[in-house]
Amino acid sequence: MNIDSIHNGIVLDHIKAGKSMDIYRFLGLDSLDCSVAIIKNAPSKKQGRKDIIKIDSEMDIDLNILGFIDPEITVNFIKDGALVEKKHLTLPDTIRDVLRCKNPRCITSVEQELPHVFRLTDRARAIYRCKYCETKAE
């Protein structure tokens, strides 16, 4: 398999095997007018298997969403064919409008314009709770 290198863009590396399509959907990569390569189940010394996404365009990426989906992702920013920045992600302290609160009595069920905000309450177990009602995210 041969996938060309990118000149200007972003490479998402060390994605947990099988998670690349979730990231593709969350970031709305289907609406881009550029090449996007998804490599699934690539061999990895560190992880055994991993996914990789190459985006052949510069764009703003919400690192909190990526960190929530998979905190082990490495984000590589490419400029003129060279790596200019590498970011290692962690679980974000807060996520906004990624999850929806399942509690029917939560204020977000009544007030539709309120953002759905979840706070990280247990980093070791990756547990998030609704900012408004404390319901555990699922």
Q: Per-domain residue ranges for the chain?
A: 9-88, 94-130
State pTM to two decimals.
0.82
Q: Using pLDDT thresholds of 50, 70 and 90, give the confidence band for residue 126.
A: very high
pLDDT digits (tens, 9 = 90+) for 2-26: 666 888 999 999 999 999 998 998 8
Predicted pLDDT of residue 33: 86
Predicted pLDDT of residue 93: 96
CB 95, CB 118: distance < 8 Å: yes
- CA dist list (Å): 137 to 47, 92, 98, 102: 27, 14, 11, 8
How many CA atoms lie within 13 Å of 27's alpha carbon, on the beta-carbon side? 25
Predicted pLDDT of residue 31: 87
Q: Does 9-88 carry CATH code 3.30.70.660?
A: no
Could you identify the residue written with the tokens 């550029």?
34
Name the nearest CA neighbour of 67 among 102, 101, 18, 16: 16
